[in-house]
Amino acid sequence: MPLMGKDRTMQQADTPARSGSAGWNSIAYITFVLAGILFTLWGSDRTQGPVFMALALVFDPYDATVTWKDRPRWTRVLLFTHIGLAAASLGFVLAR
């Protein structure tokens, strides 16, 4: 008999995410951050740097199976600081 209602959603929520992608997320995150720094400092179009910095956040370098409210405070602060620096650097580049 198929599960219906609340039991079905509980079963789907207990399915773990793929753990193999965590390493690739960290590599992609670091690559995008470094590309953002390089494009900001030495690129011909300096607006690409802040865009790469902001896109780096798509690749969550931390455990993606942990919800936002259950993450340690230092990871949330670090991610908010990252997006703040990306926004500030975009504003700085556009103001020049």
The 10s digit of each residue's pLDDT in 25-64 is 899 999 999 999 999 888 888 889 999 999 999 998 888 8
How high does pLDDT run on average in the chain?
A: 83
Residue among 89, 92, 94 nearest 53 (CA):
89
Q: Which stretches does DSSP call E strand in the chain?
A: none
- pLDDT at residue 88, rounded to an integer: 93
3 state DSSP class of 5: coil
- pLDDT at residue 6, rounded to an integer: 57
- pLDDT at residue 11, rounded to an integer: 52
- pLDDT at residue 16, rounded to an integer: 55
Give the pTM: 0.71
Q: How far apart, in Å, are the Cα atoms of 36 and each of 14, 18, 24?
A: 36, 28, 18
Is a pLDDT exceeding 90 seen at residue 20? no
